[in-house]
């Protein structure tokens, strides 16, 4: 394996606190409304499950899932985004929030939001846990952001290196293994 688990960048406690904060904002914004939350597989799964539990009875929340391919087994983007698994819900006329683990170049999210916008939802917003702002090449309009992070390859809390490390409860820097 080329990478190993390096130092903690964001701890379990910091993640929990931020998820509560984001959850409270979304709950307030969509009180009394129906929202279809779209989890971008697989990286966003853990964040998604934690975030959705913050909605409470005030929001009529529904789940759906979207799988795209971007990185493969590398840490650099192939530059090509492809839908592997589409939504099973018709989002026409619905409030939709896309939930993603990390925003890097913006290629994935700009592709996904364009695709979903074509289906004429009532509203479409994006919630990302992590944002590597300085890496952006495609503009993306994000309403809910967890943490701005430096340009480091991170793992844990859903994020993988070649399928490994998603289960770690904190976000770590991936360290090159000699
Ligand atoms: P973008 O399309 O914005 O360049 O990249 C977004 C996708 O790249 C994320 O959903 C994630 O799968 C992957 N990615 C970008 N940066 C990282 C990182 O630091 N760690 C991991 N594990 N994946 C990343
Ligand atoms: Mg992702
Ligand atoms: Mg990945």
Local structure of residue 78 (DSSP, 8 states) = -
Q: Within a domain: residue 171?
A: no
Ligand 1 in reach of 105 Cβ (< 6 A)? yes
Confidence of residue 75 (pLDDT cuts 50, 70, 90): low
Asked if residue 140 is part of any domain, the answer here is: yes
Please report the sign of the dihedral spanned by the C-alpha atoms of residue 9, residue 11, residue 17, residue 19: positive
| Interface ipTM above 0.90 | yes
Domain for residue 25, yes or no? yes
Residue 4 in domain: no
- With 0.80 as the threshold, say if the pTM is over it: yes
CA pair distance 14, 65, nearest whole angstrom: 26
What pLDDT score was predicted for residue 5? 98
Q: Do 133 and 106 meet the contact criterion of CB atoms below 8 Å apart?
A: no
CA–centroid distance, 57 to ligand 1, in Å, is: 32
Q: Is residue 166 part of a domain?
A: no
Residues having C-beta closer than 5 Å to ion ligand 2: 40, 43, 101
For residue 33, the CA-to-ligand 3 centroid distance in Å is 32
Cα separation, 75 vs 177, in Å, equals 14
Q: Where in the sequence is the domain holding 126, given as residue range(s)?
A: 12-150
Q: Give the pLDDT confidence score for residue 1 in this predicted structure.
A: 75
Give the number of the atom of ligand 1 that is nearest the alpha carbon of residue 103: 3
- The CA 133 to ligand 3 mean position distance, Å, reads 18
Ligand 1 atom closest to 153 (CA)? 19
For the record, the structure tokens of 37 come out as 């939350």
Instruction: Kindly state whether residue 81 falls inside one of the protein's structural domains.
Output: yes
How many structural domains does the chain have?
A: 1
104 is catalytic: yes
Which pLDDT score is estimated for 104?
A: 95
Provide the CATH number for the domain around residue 61. 3.40.50.2020
Containing H/E element for 172?
A: strand 171-176
Ligand 1 atom closest to Cα of residue 160: 22
Average pLDDT over residues 49-59: 98
**Catalytically annotated residue among 50, 101, 104, 160:** 104
Whether 75 is covered by a domain: the verdict is: yes
Whether the predicted pLDDT of 62 surpasses 80: yes
Kindly state the average pLDDT of the residues 111-122: 97
User: Residue 28 falls within a domain, yes or no?
Assistant: yes
């Amino acid at each position: 394996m080329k990478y190993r688990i390096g130092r903690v960048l964001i701890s379990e406690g910091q993640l929990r606190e931020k998820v509560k904060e984001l959850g409270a904002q979304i709950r307030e914004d969509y009180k009394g409304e129906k929202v279809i939350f779209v989890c971008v597989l697989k990286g966003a799964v853990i964040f998604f499950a934690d975030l959705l539990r913050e909605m409470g009875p005030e929001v009529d929340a529904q789940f759906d899932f979207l799988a795209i391919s971007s990185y493969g087994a590398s840490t650099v983007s192939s530059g090509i985004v492809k839908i592997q698994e589409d939504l099973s819900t018709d989002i026409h006329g619905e409030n939709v929030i896309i939930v993603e683990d990390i925003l890097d170049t913006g290629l994935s999210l700009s592709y996904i939001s364009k695709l979903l916008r074509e289906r004429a939802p009532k509203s479409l917003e994006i919630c990302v846990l992590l944002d590597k702002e300085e890496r952006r090449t495609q503009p993306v309009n994000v309403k809910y952001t967890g943490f701005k992070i430096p340009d480091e390859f991170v793992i844990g809390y859903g994020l993988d290196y070649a399928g490994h490390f998603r289960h770690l409860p904190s976000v770590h820097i991936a360290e090159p293994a000699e």
